[in-house]
A and B are shown apart, each in its own frame.
Chain A
Amino acid sequence: MSYATNSNCFAIQTFGLSRKFGDLIAVNNINLSIKEGELFSLLGPNGAGKTTAIRMLCCLLRPSSGTATIMGRDINEDPMAVKQIIDISPQETAIAEHLNAWENLRLIGGIRGLAKTEVRKRSENLLEMVGLTKRAKEQVRKFSGGMKRRLSIAMALVADPQVLFLDEPTLGLDPQSRRGIWEHITELKGKKTILLTTHYLEEADALADRIAIIDEGKIAALGTPRELKDSLSDMQVMVVKAKNLTTDAIESLKKIYPEVKAIEDGVEIRAKELSFYEIVDCLRPRGVAIQSTSLKQPSLDDVFLHLTGKELRE
């Protein structure tokens, strides 16, 4: 099968990209076109197929069917050409623990064919960028999780790839470290094509130019964060804070409004038309003491719940 490619406009294009593991379809017929210089996010819960998709695009996993091109190079037909222009910061901290930060950068630069002087120059800049200059000569096994992540991103950048894959770059980090990584990623926006996978809504919302919501291997929705939220513009979201909110009361509410999500000390209800009185009439007879109600703008979380029927962190 041949596929039309348009490498002038798109850095990454997938054509019916699919991958099966036995009976499980991990990635199911994905078609994406990611523009040069775009920061594109694949957003989905654990097991949605994000990492499988990235592993195929990085030529680490063969597609069961379909293909993809990276800057016009086909992942099935010319994986070595693809590998010349990509780099990845994988989900796990993929660094050589017994080497120092400097040596880790030299390793990646070296295997990607950079001259030593070039590696040195770029490493200096990158260590500065990720704030590791002072710790550059320490063995990285002594680094914190956040420092290892920052180094991992610097390693992915040392060869100056045209296309960068960031697989869950802030997974397991504390909020402060996560913010730090976001700043580094923001610095790269527009300079490189970046495909970022995450299951943090706020991460995709804050960083991505466009988001594809992926669930059970399929793309459920695609657009800018604003477009995705606007897709629910005809929806109302009411936050009800209440005491004595029992499972029975929530189930009763779901019979009227199917999209009810339990939150701390209350529920969020989504529907095209919400009736305050209907909600009160449903909850009060069940002993629920309503403390406050408010309407809010739909978030990406609401979009995800609406599209997939489940929460992102499930």
Chain B
Amino acid sequence: MKFLELAIRNFKEMWRDPISMGLEIGIPAAFLAIFWALGRSLGDENFFTPTMLVPGIAVFGFVFLSMFSAVVLARDREGALLSRLLTAPLKPRDFILSYSLPYIPLVILQIAVCFGIGAVLGLEMLGNAGLAFLILLIMGIGCVELGMILGLLFTANQVSGVGSAIITLVALLGGIWIDLGTIGGAFYRIGNALPFAHAISGARAVMAYGAGFSGIAADFYWVLGYTVVFFVLGVFLFRRNMVE
């Protein structure tokens, strides 16, 4: 468990950056409040309700987390510290775990903030809250692993640009603001091939319709599968990129 010491360092680095931390928590909270207010103003009682918004906003927040984690890894890659650490007897998976684990408390905090604000605004939880929490947690971890891939492929400066594109794509293809089924066509097919819409629809099914695990199993495994793939791809890229 040598990698835990590096995970602790990364955790400290993350928590000693209060502005980024504040944004990570503040962005989903602000979006949730804004879209709830928008829904009330529009008189919408179907989509812009806390129950429907919370899963989408949580996933939207995770994509920002991808950028955050990508920048930290990319910055370390560009600096000398990671070179020094690479001379230690750690394996590529240890490094990816070290850079991923510190974000899990942040993922949990993001979901908790979304659920908490949602509850204040009138969120209804018809199914098992733990199950909704779990699928969102796995998606959050998947987004952190996606951040590892981006951090290994791009420089810290490039990540900002690439990140904006990914945030827009996830917003469009994840069914965060608009139900993908309503759009249909290519958007629906591409969105369904990705994990984001599955995490959102799975959590919505639990929260709004009281679905159990069997009702969301396909969504659950789709999200889990992507998370595993992102992790394995991160390990592969680390091995390939970090020893020239």
6 nearest interchain CB pairs?
A110-B5, A92-B80, A94-B80, A94-B84, A83-B89, A111-B88
Asked if A298 CB lies within 8 Å of chain B CBs, one says no
Smallest CB gap from A107: residue in B: B9
Q: Which residues of A contact B16 (CB under 8 A)?
A: 98
Question: Residue among B2, B12, B80, B85 with the most chain A CB within 10 A?
Answer: B80
Asked if B243 CB lies within 8 Å of chain A CBs, one says yes
Cβ of B88 and Cβ of A94 under 8 Å apart? no
Interface residues in A70-127 (C-beta closer than 8 Å to B): 80, 83-84, 86-96, 98-99, 103, 106-113
Interface residues in B84-106 (C-beta closer than 8 Å to A): 84-91
Asked if A62 CB lies within 8 Å of chain B CBs, one says yes
Cβ of A110 and Cβ of B87 under 8 Å apart? no
The minimal Cβ–Cβ distance linking A29 to chain B, given in whole angstroms, is 19
Docked Cα-Cα span, A21 to B84, in Å, equals 22
C-beta contact mask, B40-73 vs A, less than 8 Å → 1, else 0? 0000000000000000000000000000000000
Cβ of A86 and Cβ of B87 under 8 Å apart? yes
Contacts A/B (CB < 8 Å), 16 sampled: A58-B87, A60-B86, A60-B243, A62-B244, A80-B91, A87-B87, A88-B84, A94-B80, A94-B83, A98-B17, A103-B12, A107-B9, A109-B5, A110-B2, A111-B5, A155-B84
Interface residues of A (CB under 8 A from B): 58-62, 80, 83-84, 86-96, 98-99, 103, 106-113, 155
**Given contacts A60-B87, A61-B244, A62-B243, are A96 and B81 in contact (CB under 8 A)?**
yes
Docked Cα-Cα span, A80 to B86, in Å, equals 10
Asked if B187 CB lies within 8 Å of chain A CBs, one says no
Asked if B6 CB lies within 8 Å of chain A CBs, one says yes
The minimal Cβ–Cβ distance linking A67 to chain B, given in whole angstroms, is 15
Cβ of B89 and Cβ of A84 under 8 Å apart? yes
Cβ of A59 and Cβ of B80 under 8 Å apart? no
Docked Cα-Cα span, A107 to B2, in Å, equals 9
The minimal Cβ–Cβ distance linking B18 to chain A, given in whole angstroms, is 12
Cβ of A61 and Cβ of B89 under 8 Å apart? no
Q: Which residues of A contact B90 (CB under 8 A)?
A: 111
The minimal Cβ–Cβ distance linking B111 to chain A, given in whole angstroms, is 26
Give the number of chain B interface residues (Cβ < 8 Å).
25
Cβ of A95 and Cβ of B87 under 8 Å apart? no
Q: A59-B87, A89-B84 are in contact. List 4 more A-B contacts (CB 8 A).
A: A60-B83, A88-B84, A99-B13, A113-B89
**Given contacts A110-B4, A110-B5, are A90 and B13 in contact (CB under 8 A)?**
no
Q: Which residues of B contact A94 (CB under 8 A)?
A: 79-81, 83-84
Smallest CB gap from B84: residue in A: A94
Question: Residue among B5, B83, B90 with the most chain A CB within 10 A?
Answer: B5
Q: Which residues of A contact B12 (CB under 8 A)?
A: 98-99, 103
Cβ of B243 and Cβ of A90 under 8 Å apart? no
**Given contacts A61-B243, A80-B89, A103-B9, are A90 and B2 in contact (CB under 8 A)?**
no
Asked if B154 CB lies within 8 Å of chain A CBs, one says no
Q: Which residues of B contact A60 (CB under 8 A)?
A: 83, 86-87, 243-244
Asked if B3 CB lies within 8 Å of chain A CBs, one says yes
Q: Which residues of A contact B79 (CB under 8 A)?
A: 92, 94
Could you say which of B6, B17, B83, B244 contacts A111, with CB atoms under 8 Å apart? B6
Could you say which of A83, A93, A113 contacts B87, with CB atoms under 8 Å apart? A83
Q: Which residues of A contact B2 (CB under 8 A)?
A: 110-113
Docked Cα-Cα span, A243 to B85, in Å, equals 54
Q: Which residues of B contact A155 (CB under 8 A)?
A: 84
Cβ of A90 and Cβ of B89 under 8 Å apart? no
Docked Cα-Cα span, A310 to B83, in Å, equals 31
The minimal Cβ–Cβ distance linking B147 to chain A, given in whole angstroms, is 19
Cβ of B5 and Cβ of A107 under 8 Å apart? yes
Q: Which residues of A contact B84 (CB under 8 A)?
A: 88-90, 94, 108, 155
Could you say which of B4, B9, B243 contacts A96, with CB atoms under 8 Å apart? B9
The minimal Cβ–Cβ distance linking A221 to chain B, given in whole angstroms, is 29
The minimal Cβ–Cβ distance linking B37 to chain A, given in whole angstroms, is 37
